[in-house]
Protein backbone atom coordinates (compact mmCIF):
# COMPACT_ATOMS: atom_id res chain seq x y z
CA UNK A 1 0.00 0.00 0.00
CA UNK A 2 1.65 3.23 -1.18
CA UNK A 3 1.52 6.64 0.49
CA UNK A 4 -0.91 8.10 -2.04
CA UNK A 5 -3.39 5.30 -1.36
CA UNK A 6 -3.11 5.80 2.42
CA UNK A 7 -3.63 9.52 1.98
CA UNK A 8 -6.78 8.95 -0.09
CA UNK A 9 -8.15 6.55 2.50
CA UNK A 10 -7.65 9.16 5.22
CA UNK A 11 -9.05 12.07 3.20
CA UNK A 12 -12.18 10.22 2.05
CA UNK A 13 -12.59 8.43 5.37
CA UNK A 14 -12.61 11.67 7.35
CA UNK A 15 -15.16 13.30 5.05
CA UNK A 16 -17.49 10.36 5.72
CA UNK A 17 -16.72 9.74 9.40
CA UNK A 18 -17.14 13.31 10.68
CA UNK A 19 -20.73 13.78 9.43
CA UNK A 20 -21.52 10.39 10.94
CA UNK A 21 -20.01 11.62 14.19
CA UNK A 22 -22.02 14.84 14.39
CA UNK A 23 -25.21 12.88 13.73
CA UNK A 24 -24.20 10.36 16.39
CA UNK A 25 -23.70 13.20 18.89
CA UNK A 26 -27.31 14.16 18.20
CA UNK A 27 -28.35 10.61 18.96
CA UNK A 28 -26.33 10.71 22.19
CA UNK A 29 -28.14 13.88 23.28
CA UNK A 30 -31.53 12.32 22.64
CA UNK A 31 -30.82 8.97 24.24
CA UNK A 32 -28.79 10.25 27.18
CA UNK A 33 -31.97 12.21 27.88
CA UNK A 34 -33.98 9.00 27.83
CA UNK A 35 -35.67 9.18 24.40
CA UNK A 36 -34.86 6.35 21.99
CA UNK A 37 -34.12 7.88 18.61
CA UNK A 38 -34.23 5.63 15.56
CA UNK A 39 -35.32 8.65 13.53
CA UNK A 40 -31.83 9.97 12.73
CA UNK A 41 -32.07 8.70 9.15
CA UNK A 42 -35.24 10.69 8.54
CA UNK A 43 -34.01 13.72 10.44
CA UNK A 44 -30.85 13.98 8.35
CA UNK A 45 -32.90 13.53 5.17
CA UNK A 46 -35.43 16.21 6.06
CA UNK A 47 -32.70 18.58 7.21
CA UNK A 48 -30.77 18.06 3.98
CA UNK A 49 -33.96 18.64 1.97
CA UNK A 50 -34.66 21.97 3.70
CA UNK A 51 -31.02 23.03 3.40
CA UNK A 52 -30.76 22.04 -0.27
CA UNK A 53 -34.02 23.83 -1.08
CA UNK A 54 -32.78 26.98 0.64
CA UNK A 55 -29.48 26.73 -1.24
CA UNK A 56 -31.26 26.25 -4.57
CA UNK A 57 -33.52 29.26 -4.00
CA UNK A 58 -30.54 31.35 -2.86
CA UNK A 59 -28.55 30.40 -5.95
CA UNK A 60 -31.54 31.22 -8.16
CA UNK A 61 -31.61 34.64 -6.50
CA UNK A 62 -28.01 35.30 -7.52
CA UNK A 63 -26.33 34.64 -4.16
CA UNK A 64 -22.76 33.33 -4.40
CA UNK A 65 -21.71 29.77 -3.63
CA UNK A 66 -19.97 30.56 -0.33
CA UNK A 67 -23.00 32.37 1.05
CA UNK A 68 -25.27 29.68 -0.36
CA UNK A 69 -23.45 27.00 1.61
CA UNK A 70 -23.83 28.95 4.85
CA UNK A 71 -27.54 29.35 4.18
CA UNK A 72 -27.83 25.63 3.39
CA UNK A 73 -26.29 24.53 6.68
CA UNK A 74 -28.31 27.01 8.75
CA UNK A 75 -31.59 25.92 7.19
CA UNK A 76 -30.61 22.25 7.42
CA UNK A 77 -30.07 22.61 11.17
CA UNK A 78 -33.35 24.48 11.62
CA UNK A 79 -35.26 22.07 9.38
CA UNK A 80 -33.89 19.00 11.13
CA UNK A 81 -34.62 20.51 14.54
CA UNK A 82 -38.21 21.39 13.61
CA UNK A 83 -38.84 17.95 12.16
CA UNK A 84 -37.43 16.39 15.34
CA UNK A 85 -40.19 18.21 17.24
CA UNK A 86 -42.62 15.71 15.73
CA UNK A 87 -40.72 12.83 17.32
CA UNK A 88 -40.44 14.75 20.59
CA UNK A 89 -44.16 15.52 20.70
CA UNK A 90 -45.14 11.94 19.92
CA UNK A 91 -42.79 10.42 22.50
CA UNK A 92 -42.88 13.00 25.29
CA UNK A 93 -46.24 14.76 25.04
CA UNK A 94 -48.38 11.91 23.70
CA UNK A 95 -46.30 9.07 25.20
CA UNK A 96 -46.18 7.10 21.94
CA UNK A 97 -43.94 4.08 21.53
CA UNK A 98 -40.53 5.58 20.84
CA UNK A 99 -39.32 2.86 18.47
CA UNK A 100 -42.45 2.99 16.33
CA UNK A 101 -42.34 6.79 16.29
CA UNK A 102 -38.77 6.73 15.00
CA UNK A 103 -39.62 4.29 12.21
CA UNK A 104 -42.63 6.38 11.17
CA UNK A 105 -40.53 9.56 11.16
CA UNK A 106 -38.05 7.87 8.80
CA UNK A 107 -40.70 6.57 6.39
CA UNK A 108 -42.54 9.89 6.38
CA UNK A 109 -39.35 11.82 5.63
CA UNK A 110 -38.46 9.56 2.68
CA UNK A 111 -41.92 9.87 1.13
CA UNK A 112 -42.44 13.55 1.89
CA UNK A 113 -39.07 14.84 0.68
CA UNK A 114 -39.28 12.76 -2.52
CA UNK A 115 -42.74 14.12 -3.32
CA UNK A 116 -41.91 17.71 -2.41
CA UNK A 117 -38.66 17.71 -4.41
CA UNK A 118 -40.51 16.65 -7.56
CA UNK A 119 -43.41 19.05 -6.94
CA UNK A 120 -41.15 22.05 -6.26
CA UNK A 121 -38.98 21.39 -9.30
CA UNK A 122 -42.06 21.09 -11.48
CA UNK A 123 -43.94 24.14 -10.21
CA UNK A 124 -41.11 26.55 -9.39
CA UNK A 125 -38.38 25.63 -11.87
CA UNK A 126 -40.36 23.96 -14.65
CA UNK A 127 -38.15 20.89 -14.56
CA UNK A 128 -39.14 17.23 -14.24
CA UNK A 129 -36.47 16.37 -11.69
CA UNK A 130 -36.34 14.48 -8.40
CA UNK A 131 -33.23 16.24 -7.09
CA UNK A 132 -31.72 19.60 -6.20
CA UNK A 133 -28.28 20.04 -7.76
CA UNK A 134 -25.72 21.62 -5.43
CA UNK A 135 -22.46 23.35 -6.39
CA UNK A 136 -19.28 21.43 -5.70
CA UNK A 137 -17.93 22.35 -2.29
CA UNK A 138 -14.43 23.78 -2.22
CA UNK A 139 -11.70 22.03 -0.23
CA UNK A 140 -8.93 23.41 1.95
CA UNK A 141 -5.30 22.29 2.18
CA UNK A 142 -3.13 23.60 5.02
CA UNK A 143 0.28 24.61 3.63
CA UNK A 144 3.34 23.02 5.21
CA UNK A 145 1.75 20.49 7.55
CA UNK A 146 -0.06 18.85 4.63
CA UNK A 147 3.34 17.75 3.26
CA UNK A 148 4.05 15.52 6.28
CA UNK A 149 3.63 11.84 5.27
CA UNK A 150 0.35 10.28 6.43
CA UNK A 151 -0.36 12.93 9.10
CA UNK A 152 -0.51 15.57 6.39
CA UNK A 153 -3.49 13.76 4.82
CA UNK A 154 -5.66 14.96 7.72
CA UNK A 155 -4.95 18.54 6.57
CA UNK A 156 -5.31 17.94 2.82
CA UNK A 157 -8.45 18.50 0.72
CA UNK A 158 -10.53 19.17 3.82
CA UNK A 159 -14.14 20.18 3.34
CA UNK A 160 -15.08 23.37 5.25
CA UNK A 161 -17.87 21.42 6.95
CA UNK A 162 -15.27 19.16 8.59
CA UNK A 163 -13.92 22.16 10.48
CA UNK A 164 -17.48 23.17 11.37
CA UNK A 165 -18.19 19.69 12.73
CA UNK A 166 -15.09 19.72 14.97
CA UNK A 167 -16.11 23.10 16.41
CA UNK A 168 -19.72 22.04 16.97
CA UNK A 169 -18.60 18.73 18.51
CA UNK A 170 -16.42 20.56 21.04
CA UNK A 171 -19.30 22.86 21.96
CA UNK A 172 -21.70 19.92 22.35
CA UNK A 173 -19.14 18.05 24.52
CA UNK A 174 -18.80 21.09 26.77
CA UNK A 175 -22.57 21.46 27.14
CA UNK A 176 -23.10 17.78 27.88
CA UNK A 177 -20.29 17.32 30.41
CA UNK A 178 -19.57 20.78 31.83
CA UNK A 179 -22.93 22.53 32.26
CA UNK A 180 -25.97 22.15 34.50
CA UNK A 181 -28.13 21.54 31.44
CA UNK A 182 -25.88 18.67 30.38
CA UNK A 183 -25.96 17.21 33.88
CA UNK A 184 -29.76 17.31 33.89
CA UNK A 185 -29.92 15.78 30.44
CA UNK A 186 -27.74 12.84 31.50
CA UNK A 187 -29.75 12.46 34.70
CA UNK A 188 -32.99 12.32 32.69
CA UNK A 189 -31.64 9.24 30.94
CA UNK A 190 -30.65 7.51 34.17
CA UNK A 191 -32.94 8.79 36.89
CA UNK A 192 -35.61 11.24 35.68
CA UNK A 193 -37.39 11.16 39.04
CA UNK A 194 -34.29 12.67 40.67
CA UNK A 195 -34.34 15.52 38.14
CA UNK A 196 -38.01 16.13 38.91
CA UNK A 197 -37.35 16.06 42.65
CA UNK A 198 -34.58 18.64 42.21
CA UNK A 199 -36.98 21.01 40.46
CA UNK A 200 -36.05 20.21 36.86
CA UNK A 201 -38.57 19.79 34.07
CA UNK A 202 -37.96 16.33 32.62
CA UNK A 203 -40.18 16.91 29.59
CA UNK A 204 -38.41 20.15 28.59
CA UNK A 205 -34.95 18.67 29.04
CA UNK A 206 -35.83 15.61 26.98
CA UNK A 207 -37.45 17.80 24.33
CA UNK A 208 -34.21 19.78 24.12
CA UNK A 209 -32.20 16.59 23.59
CA UNK A 210 -34.44 15.42 20.75
CA UNK A 211 -34.41 18.82 19.01
CA UNK A 212 -30.60 18.90 19.22
CA UNK A 213 -30.50 15.47 17.58
CA UNK A 214 -32.58 16.82 14.71
CA UNK A 215 -30.43 19.92 14.23
CA UNK A 216 -27.17 17.95 14.22
CA UNK A 217 -28.64 15.29 11.94
CA UNK A 218 -29.70 18.03 9.52
CA UNK A 219 -26.12 19.33 9.45
CA UNK A 220 -24.87 15.79 8.78
CA UNK A 221 -27.36 15.35 5.96
CA UNK A 222 -26.17 18.58 4.36
CA UNK A 223 -22.57 17.36 4.63
CA UNK A 224 -23.42 14.15 2.79
CA UNK A 225 -25.39 16.10 0.18
CA UNK A 226 -22.40 18.35 -0.54
CA UNK A 227 -19.63 15.74 -0.38
CA UNK A 228 -20.88 12.31 -1.44
CA UNK A 229 -23.81 13.21 -3.71
CA UNK A 230 -23.33 16.85 -4.82
CA UNK A 231 -27.14 17.00 -4.82
CA UNK A 232 -30.19 16.31 -2.73
CA UNK A 233 -32.27 13.33 -3.78
CA UNK A 234 -33.70 10.15 -2.31
CA UNK A 235 -30.14 8.77 -2.46
CA UNK A 236 -29.51 10.63 0.81
CA UNK A 237 -31.34 7.78 2.57
CA UNK A 238 -28.47 5.30 2.39
CA UNK A 239 -28.56 4.02 5.95
CA UNK A 240 -26.14 6.61 7.31
CA UNK A 241 -28.50 7.40 10.17
CA UNK A 242 -28.56 3.78 11.26
CA UNK A 243 -24.78 3.62 10.98
CA UNK A 244 -24.48 6.60 13.32
CA UNK A 245 -26.82 4.84 15.76
CA UNK A 246 -24.51 1.81 15.68
CA UNK A 247 -21.57 4.16 16.31
CA UNK A 248 -22.84 5.61 19.57
CA UNK A 249 -24.09 2.25 20.76
CA UNK A 250 -20.60 0.83 20.27
CA UNK A 251 -19.27 3.96 21.93
CA UNK A 252 -21.47 3.35 24.98
CA UNK A 253 -23.21 6.70 24.48
CA UNK A 254 -19.91 8.55 25.07
CA UNK A 255 -18.42 10.95 22.55
CA UNK A 256 -14.78 9.90 22.22
CA UNK A 257 -15.46 6.16 21.81
CA UNK A 258 -18.23 7.11 19.37
CA UNK A 259 -15.73 9.13 17.34
CA UNK A 260 -13.46 6.09 17.22
CA UNK A 261 -16.33 3.93 15.91
CA UNK A 262 -17.16 6.54 13.24
CA UNK A 263 -13.53 6.66 12.12
CA UNK A 264 -13.45 2.86 11.83
CA UNK A 265 -16.57 2.93 9.64
CA UNK A 266 -15.22 5.81 7.56
CA UNK A 267 -11.84 4.24 6.92
CA UNK A 268 -13.44 0.85 6.16
CA UNK A 269 -15.57 2.48 3.49
CA UNK A 270 -12.80 4.56 1.91
CA UNK A 271 -10.32 1.68 2.21
CA UNK A 272 -12.66 -0.59 0.30
CA UNK A 273 -13.00 1.93 -2.52
CA UNK A 274 -9.26 2.38 -2.77
CA UNK A 275 -8.76 -1.39 -2.83
CA UNK A 276 -11.24 -1.80 -5.69
CA UNK A 277 -9.46 0.98 -7.57
CA UNK A 278 -5.98 -0.43 -6.92
CA UNK A 279 -6.98 -3.91 -8.10
CA UNK A 280 -8.57 -2.51 -11.25
CA UNK A 281 -11.88 -4.21 -10.51
CA UNK A 282 -15.10 -3.29 -12.39
CA UNK A 283 -16.99 -0.25 -11.10
CA UNK A 284 -19.84 -2.50 -9.95
CA UNK A 285 -17.62 -3.64 -7.10
CA UNK A 286 -17.49 -0.06 -5.84
CA UNK A 287 -21.20 -0.35 -5.02
CA UNK A 288 -20.50 -3.56 -3.13
CA UNK A 289 -17.91 -1.74 -1.04
CA UNK A 290 -20.69 0.39 0.42
CA UNK A 291 -21.76 -2.56 2.58
CA UNK A 292 -18.38 -2.77 4.35
CA UNK A 293 -19.33 -0.48 7.27
CA UNK A 294 -22.50 -2.49 7.81
CA UNK A 295 -20.68 -5.82 7.70
CA UNK A 296 -18.20 -4.37 10.18
CA UNK A 297 -21.16 -3.36 12.35
CA UNK A 298 -22.27 -6.99 12.52
CA UNK A 299 -18.82 -8.13 13.64
CA UNK A 300 -18.55 -5.40 16.27
CA UNK A 301 -22.02 -6.30 17.47
CA UNK A 302 -20.90 -9.85 18.15
CA UNK A 303 -17.84 -8.84 20.17
CA UNK A 304 -18.94 -5.64 21.89
CA UNK A 305 -22.69 -5.89 22.49
CA UNK A 306 -22.26 -7.55 25.89
CA UNK A 307 -20.24 -4.58 27.16
CA UNK A 308 -22.80 -1.93 26.17
CA UNK A 309 -24.45 -0.07 29.03
CA UNK A 310 -27.32 2.08 27.82
CA UNK A 311 -28.87 4.85 29.97
CA UNK A 312 -31.05 3.19 32.61
CA UNK A 313 -34.23 5.05 31.72
CA UNK A 314 -33.73 4.91 27.94
CA UNK A 315 -37.03 4.33 26.16
CA UNK A 316 -39.10 4.67 29.31
CA UNK A 317 -41.96 7.15 29.26
CA UNK A 318 -41.63 9.37 32.30
CA UNK A 319 -44.63 9.17 34.64
CA UNK A 320 -44.50 11.79 37.35
CA UNK A 321 -47.06 9.92 39.45
CA UNK A 322 -44.64 7.02 39.97
CA UNK A 323 -42.15 9.09 42.00
User: What is the model's pLDDT at position 321?
Assistant: 65
Report if residue 146 sits inside a domain. Answer: no
Residue range(s) defining the domain that contains residue 275: 3-138+156-322
User: What is the model's pLDDT at position 4?
Assistant: 85
CATH of the domain at 9: 1.10.3470
Average confidence score pLDDT of the chain = 92
Beta carbons within 8 Å of 232's beta carbon, 6+ residues apart: 48, 49, 51, 52, 53, 113, 117, 131, 132, 134, 225
Q: In the chain, which stretches have pLDDT less than 70?
A: 1, 283-285, 305, 321-323
Report if residue 8 sits inside a domain. Answer: yes
Report if residue 143 sits inside a domain. Answer: no
Report if residue 145 sits inside a domain. Answer: no
User: What is the model's pLDDT at position 301?
Assistant: 76
User: What is the model's pLDDT at position 323?
Assistant: 58
Report if residue 243 sits inside a domain. Answer: yes
User: What is the model's pLDDT at position 136?
Assistant: 81
C-alpha of 260 from chain center: 15
Global pTM reads: 0.95
The total number of structural domains that make up the chain: 1
Amino acid sequence: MNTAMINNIIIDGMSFALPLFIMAIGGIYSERGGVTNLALEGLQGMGAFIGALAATLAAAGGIGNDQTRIIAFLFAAVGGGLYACVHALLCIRFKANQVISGVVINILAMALTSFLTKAINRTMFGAASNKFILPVSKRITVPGISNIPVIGAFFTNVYPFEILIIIVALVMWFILYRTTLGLRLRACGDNPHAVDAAGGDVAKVRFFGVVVSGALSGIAGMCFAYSILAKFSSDIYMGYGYLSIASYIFGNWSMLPTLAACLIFGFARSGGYQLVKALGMPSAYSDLVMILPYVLTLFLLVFLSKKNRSPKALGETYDKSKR
